[in-house]
Amino acid sequence: MIELKGAAVSAQIKEQVQKALAKRPGPPPKLAIIRVGENPDDLSYEKGARKKLESFGLRSQSFSYPKQISHARFYEAFLQINQDPDVDGILLLLPLPAQIRFPEIAQAIDPKKDVDGISPVNIAKVFAGETDGFAPCTAEAVMEILSHYGVETAGKRAVVVGRSMVVGRPLSMLLLQQNATVTICHTRTRNLELVCRDAELLVAAAGQRKMLDERYVGKDAVVVDVGIHVDQEGKLCGDVDFDRIRDCASMATPVPGGVGSVTTAVLAKHLMRAAGAFEE
């Protein structure tokens, strides 16, 4: 089985970004990362994203707010960041606390600064097949990996396990744009094993640790694992039991070192586009 490692994909995107930066006058584009509360996963992602952006030569600034902040105060602070001409892109770490009305925030964000695709405008563009908006970074990271490793999608049977607006649904639309035949499944899908085994391309985005093993993977299938968890031994793992699919999958992304490492590179790419400094 060939491992589809993210490092090479990230390096390729970094080269594209830095070539574009070299041609751009003035300060590098700037990302605002907005966090509410002290969730360890959010803190880890924020730290990793800032480190990746810095390594690409891009700027970032963190804005953190207490978990108990009222909707009104957060909305006011969000609008100030949204309207700041020095901010080229905005990354809002989700989910937000219950008192903050996310739909209002998503409506308010400038679609041109919405680098992780939460605005209804950008969501509509993804579902309409338009390419001038922003898809969620994780969904696009999957497409970057498939493209980098020459995995053909046109005409292939693709199964996406997961229906979230962060990965499952937008990724299904991106695969459809590349002429794959897509089936969206979830944890309540009947005969899930059978449906997954029929896939030539299987994407695991269900959010359940090691949910998919060799029973779900057909011979020579390409498997992309979007999940990230900590197993009983304290090690990172995905939605796929990686060791148990080695004898049936032809290619698969590892966890860690797969989709996650490309997601922040896509974030950098989106920031460049938001600043008008990068044309694909």
Fold designation for 137-260: Rossmann fold (3.40.50)
Q: Where are the domains of the chain?
A: 24-118, 137-260
Whole-number pLDDT of residue 176: 97
Whole-number pLDDT of residue 279: 63
Q: Do domains 24-118 and 137-260 have the same CATH topology?
A: yes
Instruction: Tell me how far apart the alpha carbons of residues 205 and 197 are, in angstroms, rounded to a whole number.
Output: 16
Per-residue pLDDT for the chain (280 aa), expressed as one digit of tens each? 999 999 999 999 999 999 999 999 889 999 999 999 999 889 989 999 999 999 999 999 999 999 999 999 999 999 999 999 999 999 999 999 999 999 999 999 999 999 999 999 999 999 999 999 999 999 999 999 999 999 999 999 999 999 999 999 999 999 999 999 999 998 889 999 999 999 999 999 999 999 999 999 999 999 999 999 888 888 889 999 999 999 999 999 999 999 999 999 999 999 999 999 876 5
For domain 24-118, give the CATH superfamily.
Answer: Leucine Dehydrogenase, chain A, domain 1 (3.40.50.10860)
Residues 6+ apart with CB under 8 A from 63: 32, 33, 34, 35, 77, 81
Q: Where are the beta strands (DSSP E) in the chain?
A: 2-3, 30-36, 59-65, 89-92, 157-161, 181-185, 201-204, 222-225, 229-230, 236-237, 251-252
pTM over 0.85: yes
Whole-number pLDDT of residue 232: 81
What is the Cα 214 distance to its own chain's centre? 25
- Residue 181 has which token pair? 């035949």
CB 208 within 8 A of CB 239: yes
Instruction: Tell me how far apart the alpha carbons of residues 272 and 43 are, in angstroms, rounded to a whole number.
Output: 23
